[in-house]
Amino acid sequence: MRHIRVFAAAAAAGVVLGLVAGCGGTASENSGGVDRNKGSKGTLTIADAGFTESEIVANMFADVLSKAGYKTKETSVKATEISQKDLEKGDVAVIPAYVATYADELNTLINGPKAPSVASPDLDKSYSELKTLATQRGLTPLKPGKAVDQNAFAVSKKFAAQHHLDTLTDLGKLGMPLKLAAGSECQTRPFCVPGLKRVYDIDIKSIDPLGVDTAQSKQAVAKGADQLALVLTTDATVSSAGLKVLADDKKLQNADYLVPIVNTKKLKPDMETALNKLTATLTTEDLAQLNAKVDVGQQKPGEVASEYLKSKNLL
C-alpha cells in the first residue's frame, strides 16, 4: 500500500533527490525463481518506492525486461520518495509511477513548491503534462496502464443498503453530518474533506484519526463508530471488512494510473514493447489481489510478481 505517498505526493509535496539505498536482494530472493542474470542486451536497474504495490510492480518490470534479453536488478529506496537523481543519471533505468502524482512531483521539482497543480482527473490532460515535464528531465513516460491507485471512500455495507448508496453523489444527497476515519491531514488535503464538500456537498463533521486505509479505520466504519473511511482502490480487503466503496462519479480524484517512467537514453523499442504489454494487462483488481497476497498472505513481492506474469503468459 502507499499510505504516505497518497497524501504527500498528491499534495505536490515534492521529490527527494536521494540516492537509491538498500538493495532489494539477489535475483533468486526477489524474482520467484526467474534468472535475471542471463540477458545479453545490457544491465538495467529498476527501482521501487518502498511500499508493497511498488515493490510488486517493479519486480514485474524486472522480470519482463529479463525475458526481453536484459540483465535486471530490482532495488528499493528506504523512504517512499523515488530516487529522482539516479533516474535522471541513468543509474536507475525504470521506475513504476502514477500519472497525476508524478506529474505534480515533477512540476514541483521544475517550477518550485508554489507552482499550481498540473494534475487532474482527466487522464489525457495529466499524461500530456507529465510527458512535457518528464522530457525536461531526460525521462520518457510510457503508455499509462489499466490499473489505477487512487483514494476512495467507503461506508459499511449495512449503511449503504439502508440509504441506497452507490455513489458519492448519493451520499451527499443524504445531507447527513458524517464522521470520517482517515489521517488527520485529510482535513486540509484538496482530494479529501475540502473536495468532498466542494464536489459532492458531503458534510464531514469530524475526522477520526485512525489513518489511511488501516484496519482500524475499516473496523470503525464496519462497527458504526464512524460512517465513512478513506481507503484505496487497490485494497482487496475492503469488501471482506464489511465495507462498500462508493463510486467517485464526479471524478474528484486525480488520474493516478500506473505508468512506467524510463530514462530516455536507456529506452529501447523492445523495452517499451515489454513494459507496455504488461501495463495493458494489469488491472486495478489484479493489483488489489496481488497486494493482499503480500500484505495478508505474507508472500514475497518477487514471487507474487512472477506468479502473476506466468498466469498471464507474460513470462
The dihedrals phi and psi of 24, each to the nearest 5 degrees, come to -80, 5
Q: Is 89 in contact with 20 (CB distance < 8 Å)?
A: no
Beta bridge partners of 95: 261
Total length of the chain: 315
Query: In whole angstroms, what is the distance from residue 253 CA to residue 195 CA?
Result: 9
Q: Which three cell numbers stand for residue 146?
A: 489499466
pLDDT at 30: 55
State the virtual CA torsion across 193, 197, 198, 201 in degrees, nearest 10.
160
> Under 8 Å CB-to-CB from 223, ≥6 apart: which residues?
none
Residue with cell 498528491: 10
Q: Which three cell numbers stand for residue 138?
A: 531526460
Residue-level pLDDT at 8 = 36
* Contact assessment for residue 145 and residue 60, using Cβ atoms and an 8 Å cutoff: no
CB 221 within 8 A of CB 156: yes
Comparing CA positions, the residue from 64, 56, 76 lying closest to residue 1 is: 56
- Answer yes or no: is pLDDT of 7 > 70: no
3 pLDDT more than 70: no
What does the block give as the cell for 76?
528499493
- The burial class, CB within 10 Å (0-12 / 13-18 / 19+), for 56 is buried
Summarised one tens digit per residue, pLDDT across range 42-86 is 999 999 988 889 999 999 999 999 999 999 999 987 543 457 889
- Reference 227, options 150, 163, 149; nearest CA is 163
> Where do the H-state alpha helices sit in the chain?
3-10, 27-30, 52-67, 84-89, 99-111, 123-136, 157-163, 168-174, 193-200, 215-222, 269-281, 284-295, 301-311
* CB-based contacts of 214, cutoff 8 Å, min separation 6: 3
- Express each pLDDT in 218-270 by its tens digit: 999 999 999 999 999 999 899 999 999 999 999 999 999 999 999 999 999 99
Q: Where are the domains of the chain?
A: 3-148+254-311, 151-246
pLDDT single digits (tens) 9-34:
333 333 333 333 333 343 334 556 67
The closest of 276, 275, 263, 260 to 92, measured between CA atoms, is 263
**Architecture of the domain spanning 151-246:** 3-Layer(aba) Sandwich (3.40)
C-alpha cell at 216: 482500524
Beta carbons of 145 and 259 less than 8 angstroms apart: yes
Q: How confident is the model over 89-140, as pLDDT tens digits?
A: 999 999 999 999 999 999 999 999 899 999 999 999 999 999 999 999 999 9
Domains 3-148+254-311 and 151-246 fall in the same CATH topology = yes
For 255, half-sphere exposure in the C-beta direction (CA atoms, 13 angstrom radius) is 19
Pick one of 3.30.450.20, 3.10.150.10, 3.40.50.10490, 3.40.190.10 as the CATH number of 3-148+254-311.
3.40.190.10
Residue 210, H or E segment: none
Q: Are strands 178-182 and 228-232 parallel, antiparallel or unpaired?
A: parallel
Predicted local confidence at residue 274, as pLDDT? 98
CA 108: distance to chain centroid? 19
Contacts of 286 by beta carbon, 8 Å cutoff, 6+ apart: 147, 308
Kindly report the pTM of this predicted structure. 0.82
